[in-house]
C-alpha cells in the first residue's frame, strides 16, 4: 500500500470515529498511561460538578454524555484592548474575512503578544474561557458518542497519568487573541517537575482564541497526542483568510509523540516547537495529515529536536517555516535513520505543497536516539 492511501485511512479514522466511545492503550511516549482506571466512574450533570470531579484528588473516570457549556457562567468583561495592524489591514481588504483583536496582557499593549502596531479598541470576552479547569493526576476524561463537548472553557493538566479521550473543546473567545487555550500544561508543583504519562486521543479542538495545545516550564516528559482533529477553520483569523494562526506552542522541557492526527484549516504554528531560551523539546511526529494550510506548518526554534516521518501534506503552502535554529529530520528519499536509530524512517509525502526538508537532521536523530 502506498503511503498516501495509508494516510487517507488514518484521516478517515479521525473524521469518522473521533466521536466513538474509545478505549485501547496509547502508543508512543505515553505508553502505560491508565488515567483513572483504578478509581470509580462518574457522570457529571452540571458544569460545577465537572469542575469538581476534574480537580478531585482521587482517581476517576469522568464520562461526558452531554455538552457542558460554560459560556455566560462567569460573566463577561468589556475593557480596552488592542487592534493590531494586521486586523486593520484585514478590515481594509474587505475580502469577506474577519481578523482578531487582542486582549492586553499585563496592562501593557507594547509587550502583549499579537499586538503589533496596536491601537486602542473596546473588546468584550467571556470570562470562563480565561480560567481553565484544573485536571489533577490519575484522571480519564472520556466522551460518549458525539456528546462529549466542552464549550467556553479549556483544561489545565496538572498531574501524572491523565487521559483525555473523545472530547471536543470549542468556543473559546475565538474573536480575540489571548481569548483562551484549549489545553495547557506546565508540569507538576507549579511547573518545577515534569508530568508523566499524558495521553490526548481522539479529541477535537476548534474555534479557540489562542492555542489548541500549549506547554511550558517543566511540562511533560511523556505525552502522546494521537488520532485527533485540530480544526483551524474560523470566523476570525489573524491571517485574514478564515484559517487559525495560533495553533500549537511546545515550550518547556517537553517530550512528546504526535501520531495519526488531522491538522487542517490553519495558517501558522502547526506546530511551533522550541524557540524559547528555557526550552528543551524533543518530538516524534509521525503519520499525521496536514491539509489546507495557507501559511506555515512546522516552526522549529532553538532547543528543539524533531523527527518527522510518514506525514502527508496536502495544499500546505509552507510545511516548514524559514530559519536556521533547532534540529529537524524530515524523512525523504534518503534515509539516515538506519545510521542513528537502526531502522528505516517512512518518507513524508507532499501534494500541492511547499518543500519540507531537514535542518540539522543528524543532530535531531542523535538526540531522538537519546
Active site residues: 269
Question: In angstroms, rounded to a whole number, what is the distance separating the alpha carbons of residues 61 and 169?
Answer: 18
Question: In angstroms, rounded to a whole number, what is the distance separating the alpha carbons of residues 154 and 212?
Answer: 9
Cell digits of residue 186: 506546565
Q: Which helix (H) or strand (E) holds 156?
A: strand 155-158
Cell digits of residue 142: 472520556
Question: In angstroms, rounded to a whole number, what is the distance separating the alpha carbons of residues 25 and 201?
Answer: 10
Where do we find the cell 516550564?
A: 217
Q: Show the CA angle centred on residue 180, arms to residues 176 and 184, nearest 5°.
A: 150
Taking the mean position of all CA atoms in its chain, how far away is CA 78? Answer: 28
Cell digits of residue 33: 498511561
Cell digits of residue 4: 498516501
Taking the mean position of all CA atoms in its chain, how far away is CA 101? Answer: 21
Q: Would you give the DSSP letter of residue 347? A: P
Q: What is the dihedral of CA 70, 71, 77, 82, to 10 degrees?
A: 110
Contact present, 33 and 199 (Cβ < 8 Å): yes
Cell digits of residue 141: 476524561
Taking the mean position of all CA atoms in its chain, how far away is CA 86? Answer: 23
For the chain, give the longest Cα–Cα distance: 58
Amino acid at each position: 500500500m502506498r503511503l498516501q492511501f495509508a494516510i487517507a485511512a488514518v484521516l478517515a479514522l479521525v473524521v469518522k470515529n473521533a466521536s466513538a466511545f474509545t478505549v485501547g492503550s496509547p502508543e508512543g511516549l505515553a505508553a502505560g498511561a491508565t488515567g483513572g482506571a483504578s478509581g470509580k466512574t462518574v457522570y457529571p450533570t452540571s458544569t460545577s460538578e465537572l469542575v469538581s470531579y476534574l480537580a478531585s484528588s482521587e482517581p476517576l473516570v469522568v464520562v461526558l454524555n452531554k455538552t457542558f457549556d460554560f459560556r455566560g457562567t462567569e460573566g463577561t468583561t468589556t475593557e480596552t484592548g488592542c487592534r493590531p495592524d494586521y486586523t486593520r489591514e484585514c478590515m481594509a481588504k474587505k475580502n469577506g474575512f474577519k481578523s482578531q483583536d487582542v486582549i492586553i496582557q499585563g496592562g501593557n499593549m507594547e509587550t502583549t503578544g499579537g499586538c503589533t502596531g496596536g491601537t486602542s479598541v473596546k473588546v468584550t470576552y467571556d470570562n470562563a474561557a480565561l480560567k481553565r479547569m484544573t485536571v489533577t493526576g490519575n484522571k480519564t476524561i472520556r466522551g460518549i458518542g458525539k456528546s462529549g463537548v466542552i464549550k467556553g472553557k479549556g483544561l489545565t493538566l496538572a498531574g501524572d497519568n491523565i487521559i483525555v479521550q473523545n472530547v471536543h473543546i470549542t468556543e473559546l473567545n475565538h474573536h480575540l487573541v489571548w481569548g483562551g487555550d484549549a489545553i495547557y500544561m506546565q508540569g507538576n508543583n507549579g511547573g518545577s517537575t515534569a508530568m508523566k504519562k499524558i495521553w490526548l486521543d481522539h479529541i477535537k479542538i476548534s474555534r479557540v482564541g489562542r492555542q489548541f495545545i500549549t506547554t511550558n516550564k517543566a511540562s511533560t516528559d511523556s505525552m502522546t497526542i494521537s488520532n485527533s482533529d485540530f480544526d483551524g477553520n474560523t470566523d476570525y483569523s489573524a491571517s485574514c483568510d478564515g484559517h487559525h494562526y495560533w495553533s500549537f506552542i511546545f515550550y518547556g522541557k517537553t517530550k512528546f509523540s504526535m501520531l495519526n492526527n488531522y491538522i487542517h484549516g490553519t495558517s501558522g504554528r502547526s506546530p511551533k516547537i522550541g524557540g524559547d531560551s528555557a526550552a528543551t523539546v524533543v518530538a516524534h511526529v509521525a503519520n499525521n495529515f496536514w491539509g489546507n494550510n495557507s501559511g506555515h506548518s512546522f516552526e522549529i526554534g532553538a532547543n528543539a529536536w524533531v523527527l518527522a516521518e510518514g506525514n502527508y501534506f496536502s495544499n500546505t503552502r509552507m510545511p516548514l517555516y524559514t530559519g536556521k535554529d533547532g534540529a529537524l529530520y524530515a524523512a525523504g528519499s534518503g534515509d539516515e535513520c538506519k545510521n542513528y536509530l537502526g531502522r528505516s524512517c517512512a518518507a513524508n509525502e507532499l501534494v500541492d505543497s511547499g518543500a519540507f526538508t531537514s535542518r540539522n537532521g543528524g543532530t535531531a536523530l542523535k538526540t531522538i536516539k537519546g
